[in-house]
Chain A
């Protein structure tokens, strides 16, 4: 018993032409193939033009009420990997597989699924054997820029290779156009990473399709087939480089590491003077030994720089030998340098040579107390025609200045050229830039981004290499 009592509404207009509410009907209509009698499911009635019977392969005319046979065939057809009638959701839209075709450019083969949704129309799922792309027919014409560039939605697409013929090698299911094995169209591709604009020309028709590459596994998951294995050996023309993001990550991580490296080396790199000793050494005599005890190096490993400054020597050199010995282990590190300075006049004018100051750096010294033993041996250079007395105007002026201002600090450290000894100042410093170590660390930080860059370039080279020979 129904309690539903309808009271006529006087304001409502009388229904003159009652239209019975039509119950939702199925989009699928089962017909029988006039050739083999098998069931042919037509899933887009009214839109479908050609049907290829999946049982016998006959081509049927869906625009005739009784599916007239256009081309009779009697062959067992192979099944597409995604069976006809399978539904899947891509980007939030449900699609049903209604047709399947295989095509070739005579070099590589690929598969195209025709997808249908009564409210969305058609789409193509293109399977190149590795990855899937979702294609939508464009309802606008891309703008041609400078010959090989196209503009669509303000984004540029560059032409990929030449136009090439594409032939249908296998068809099953239903299509909104007349399909036939062997049908050939001329295709031209324009790409940008992730997207391809494909122009197909057939007789007087020209259609544009926009293909968006789907992420790995998306199509497989949507339509319930096993996921494809990732590989980047032979990328599709519109495949985005997988290394681009890695590169961005590598650069960010590298920059952070570089910043930290800079911080650490500038903090550790601040030089600290430990001790300074000045000693006089006699020329052309037995060497002089200076021992500096109790040099403390902190925990970890540090750099020790030892500077020898014989600033006042003239036409002489001092050999400096260092031995840095750990007081506890008695392990020692040896190093040496020569500080020298020569000057004079010849036919080319005044000349000078040598550096009276030099620094020796010992890196990665373990912590502990050290003794530094310095052996100094000074030699005078015996010049031919020995001009050891001031003869030039310059020299005379220099000595005049020295005489006038005996308190001048520079003047006091400048030895008389004829003096029997030379003062050598030894300065011991701790810390300082780890030139080599820092550079090594920099190389290690740069290695990852560099490897990714080379991988990216290799990928782009493979991507841009035309995979079809017919187009060349």
Chain B
């Protein structure tokens, strides 16, 4: 853990993980990049708009028997809506993402690029979209493409593995299996293809504590 001050506004900032190079300052919303011992404010990011997500930074949860804490969030937008991706920092230092869309949750972890057939990686890199309904095998598991869309970053907060300025765009393909498994293939602006696999889960399945409370809504039994 590194505790220091924002190079832009001087507010105290904290890097909880040595492996996450970006931290959005809670006060001035500067994106602070840490390279070695150097800190650099590389631009401002938009404040995350108010939403009714029960998740927030600091929520602790469990994926199977591995505990994590939500340390960062990127909010993405596409033509017909928006969703959150929460960065989960596991106790062993590894990271995963909790996707939150339309009131549903996905627990995802990045897998190596070679989990996907090179021809498909090339297809995504070349910008040709994968048609909905296409069967795609990742690490030996067959998924069906359920959605493919162009997305842009709306806002971000907390610690992140990359700088997520407003307007950062990506191509995102969602996939699912008959038994609740899901995957996501993303191509960022640099043309890099990233592959994530995981599963759909109810909020209860995250075994989360520290959820946000809302006026007039009882905290569900599983989070009490």
A residues sitting closer than 8 Å to B (CB atoms) are 16-17, 19, 22, 24-27, 29, 43-47, 49, 63, 65, 94, 116-122, 137, 139-143, 176-178, 204-206
Which residues of the partner chain A approach B219 to less than 8 Å between Cβ atoms? 119
Main SS of the interface on chain B?
Answer: loop
Q: Which residues of B contact A22 (CB under 8 A)?
A: 212
Residue B147, interface by CB 8 Å:
yes
Q: Mark B155-180, 1 if CB is under 8 A from A, else 0.
A: 00000000000000000000011111
Task: Collect the chain A residues with CB atoms within 8 Å of residue B91's CB.
Answer: none
Known: A140-B176, A205-B147, A206-B133. A24 touches B213 (CB 8 A): yes
B52 cross-chain contacts in A, Cβ below 8 A: 27, 43-47, 118
Given A17-B26, A206-B133, A47 and B102 touching (CB < 8 A)? yes
| A139–B200 CB distance below 8 A | yes
CB-based contact A176/B217 at 8 Å? no
Would you call B132 an interface residue if the criterion is a C-beta within 8 Å of the partner chain's C-beta atoms? yes
Give the top 8 A-B pairs by smallest Cβ distance, nearest first: A46-B51, A121-B103, A139-B200, A204-B132, A24-B213, A140-B180, A16-B12, A26-B215
Closest Cβ neighbor of A87 among chain B residues: B216
Closest chain-B Cβ to A423's Cβ sits at a distance in Å of 86
Q: Are B103 and A25 in touch, CB under 8 angstroms? A: no
CB distance from A56 to the nearest CB of B (A): 23
> Would A139 and B223 count as touching, CB distance under 8 A?
no
Cross-chain contact A17 with B14 (CB below 8 angstroms)? yes
B213 lies within 8 A of A141 (CB): no
Q: Are A120 and B81 closer than 8 Å at their CB atoms?
A: no
Residues of A within 8 A of B3 (CB): 16
Instruction: Give the distance to chain A from B60, nearest Cβ to Cβ, in Å.
Output: 15
Q: Residue B200 contacts which of A26, A47, A140 (CB distance < 8 angstroms)? A: A140
- Cβ-defined partner of B177 (8 Å) among A29, A122, A140, A176: A140
Q: A17-B12, A140-B176 are in contact. List 10 more A-B contacts (CB 8 A).
A: A17-B26, A25-B214, A27-B52, A45-B51, A46-B82, A116-B103, A117-B217, A121-B103, A139-B200, A176-B81
Q: Is the CB of B133 within 8 A of A24?
A: no
Q: Which residues of A contact B202 (CB under 8 A)?
A: 120
B residues in contact with A26, CB < 8 Å: 214-216
B59 interfacial by beta-carbon distance below 8 Å: no
Indicate if B49 sits at the interface (CB-CB under 8 A). yes
Provide the residues of chain B in CB contact with A206, threshold 8 Å: 132-133, 146
**A19 smallest CB distance to B (angstroms):** 7
- Complex: A19 Cα to B27 Cα, angstroms: 10
A141 touches B80 (CB 8 A): no
Name B203's contact: one of A27, A116, A119, A178 (CB within 8 Å): A119
Interface 0/1 of B32-63, CB less than 8 Å to A: 00000000000000000111111000100000
Q: Are B80 and A178 in contact (CB under 8 A)?
A: yes
Q: Indicate if the CB atoms of A141 and B178 lie closer than 8 Å.
A: yes
A71 to chain B, nearest CB (A): 15
User: Which of A94, A116, A205 touches B218 (beta carbons < 8 Å)?
Assistant: A94
B20 at the A/B interface (Cβ < 8 Å)? Answer: no
Smallest beta-carbon distance A88→chain B, Å: 14
Q: What is the minimal beta-carbon distance from B59 to any residue of chain A, in angstroms?
A: 12
A24 to B219, CA, bound (A): 11
Could you say which residues of chain B place their CB within 8 Å of the CB of A121? 102-104, 203
Expressed in whole angstroms, the Cα–Cα distance for A46 and B73 within the complex equals 14
Tell me the B173-224 residues at the A interface (CB within 8 Å).
176-180, 182, 200, 202-203, 211-220, 223
Please indicate the chain A residues that have their CB under 8 angstroms from the CB of B200 in the complex: 139-140
Q: Which residue of B lies closest to A18 (CB)?
A: B12
What is the CB-to-nearest-CB distance from B89 to chain A, in angstroms, rounded to a whole number?
A: 16
For residue B138, CB closer than 8 A to chain A, the reply is: no
Of the candidates B54, B133, B176, the one whose C-beta lies within 8 Å of that of A118 is B54
| Residues in B neighbouring A47, C-beta threshold 8 A | 51-52, 81, 102-103
Residues of chain B contacted by A119 (CB below 8 angstroms): 54, 203, 211, 217, 219-220, 223
The chain B residue with its CB closest to the CB of A16 is: B12
Partner of A27, one of B131, B147, B217: B217
Complexed CA–CA distance, A44 and B54 (Å): 11
Residues on B with beta carbons closer than 8 Å to the beta carbon of A137: 102, 104
The residue in chain B whose Cβ has the minimal distance to the Cβ of A119 is B220
Is B220 within 8 A of A204, CB to CB? no
Find chain A residues with CB under 8 A from B49 CB.
Answer: 46, 65
Task: Name the distance in Å between B4's Cβ and chain A's nearest Cβ.
Answer: 9
Q: How far is the CB of A335 from chain B (nearest CB, A)?
A: 76
CB <8 Å contact, B179 and A140: yes
Chain A: minimal CB distance from B149 (Å): 9
Q: Contact: A205 with B217, CB < 8 Å?
A: no
Closest B residue, CB atoms, query A140: B180
List 23 A-B residue pairs with CB atoms under 8 Å apart, sorted by A's residue number: A16-B12, A16-B13, A16-B14, A17-B11, A24-B215, A26-B215, A45-B51, A46-B53, A118-B54, A118-B214, A120-B203, A121-B103, A121-B203, A122-B102, A140-B180, A141-B144, A141-B177, A176-B102, A204-B132, A205-B132, A205-B147, A206-B132, A206-B133
CB atoms of B103 and A122 under 8 A apart: yes
**Nearest chain A residue, comparing its CB with the CB of B223:** A119
Closest to A14 in B: B3
- Which B residues are in CB contact (< 8 Å) with A43? 52
Interface 0/1 of B10-38, CB less than 8 Å to A: 01111000000000001000000000000
State whether the Cβ of B125 lies closer than 8 Å to any Cβ in chain A: no
CB nearest neighbor in B for A204: B132
Whether B116 is near chain A, meaning CB under 8 Å from some CB there, is no
Specify which of B13, B202, B216 lies most central, judged by the most chain A CB atoms within 10 Å of its CB.
B216
A122 contact set on B, CB distance < 8 A: 102-103
